[in-house]
Amino acid sequence: MTVSNQHPISVEDMGESLANFSLDRESVLFALSRLPDEHSINKVTVEYEIQLLRILSVGWAISYFMEDHSEKAPLIKKFWDVLFEFSKNLSSVTSLTIGKEVDYFKTLKERIDTYLKAMAEVPHVKDPASVIGPTFARLCGNTDNVHVIMAGNRIFHLSLEGVKHFLESIFSSATDQANQPAYSDRRYGSAEC
């Protein structure tokens, strides 16, 4: 995700960018590439669960990093609106392909509940990944596989870092622009006389 320092970005554009980031396949493929070729690991299931976890991690990161910002609620709304539309389209295509009703957004909600329940069972957890990774591995059918646990941890951390970096770049460039004089030219200095 790159951000132009020249033009401020709207909350709607931020929400779309973060939704697209959550759907980006690069980090999913990176996490999958780190898994060993073991017949006990169903890579199709792991890939499916990684994508769900990535989306949820980005959504959680928005809430976490935007805690004190007035833009939090509209940004979260836009993020989930984009994902709802994506889910609706994906569900429709998948349902037609396999001949069975599929509701991807419902699955996302179920996974949110699963991860939140797991977090609630470990009060005062210092690192959420210590709960996310094992929960992810259980959802993949590999409860005790350290490689699958680490894949969940990795996608969680990569998602958080990506959102943090994106938001910092937005808000630091907005702060920099607010502190700039109304007119500035490096050759002539500021417009102040």
Look at residue 187 in the predicted model and tell me its pLDDT: 31
Q: Looking at residue 96, what is its pLDDT? A: 81
Q: What pLDDT score does 41 carry?
A: 94
Q: Please enumerate in sequence order all residues whose Cβ is within 8 A of that of 41, keeping only pairs 6 or more positions apart, or say none.
A: 35, 140, 142, 145, 147, 148
Q: Which residues pair with 184 in a beta bridge?
A: 190
Phi/psi for 160 (5° steps) reads: -60, -45
**4-18, 133-147, 175-189: least confidently modelled range:** 175-189
Residue 6 scores a pLDDT above 90: no
Q: Of 34-43, 49-58, 128-137, 157-166, which gets the smallest average pLDDT?
A: 34-43
Give dist(CA 123, CA 51) in Å, integer: 26
What 3-state class would DSSP assign to 92?
helix
- What are the b/e assignments for 77-99, b being 16+ CB within 10 Å? ebbbebbeebbeebbeeeeeeee
Which pTM was predicted?
A: 0.83
Has residue 67 got a pLDDT over 60? yes
Stretch among 47-51, 81-85, 87-91, 114-118 having the lowest mean pLDDT: 87-91
Residue 185: the pLDDT is 36
CB–CB of 180/165 below 8 Å? no
Q: Which residue has the tokens 């591995």?
A: 137
In the three-class reduction of DSSP (H, G, I as helix; E, B as strand; rest coil), residue 174 is classed as: helix
Q: What is the DSSP letter of 173?
A: H
pLDDT, residue 7, reads 53
pLDDT value at residue 172: 81
> Can you tell me whether residue 190 is helix, strand or coil?
strand
The pLDDT tens digits of the residues spanning 69-82 come to 999 999 999 999 99
Lowest mean pLDDT among 2-16, 40-54, 94-108: 2-16
Percent of the chain with pLDDT over 90: 66
Q: What ranges do the domains of the chain cover? A: 11-172
DSSP letters, 34-80, are: TS---TTS-HHHHHHHHHHHHHHHHHHHHHHHTTT-TTHHHHHHHHH
- What is the tens place of the pLDDT at every residue in 172-188? 865 555 444 433 333 33
Residue type for 43, please? K
The letter for the amino acid at 129 is A
pLDDT value at 152 more than 60: yes
Please report where in the chains the tokens 């169903």 appear, as a residue.
42
Confidence label for 9 from pLDDT (cuts 50, 70 and 90): confident
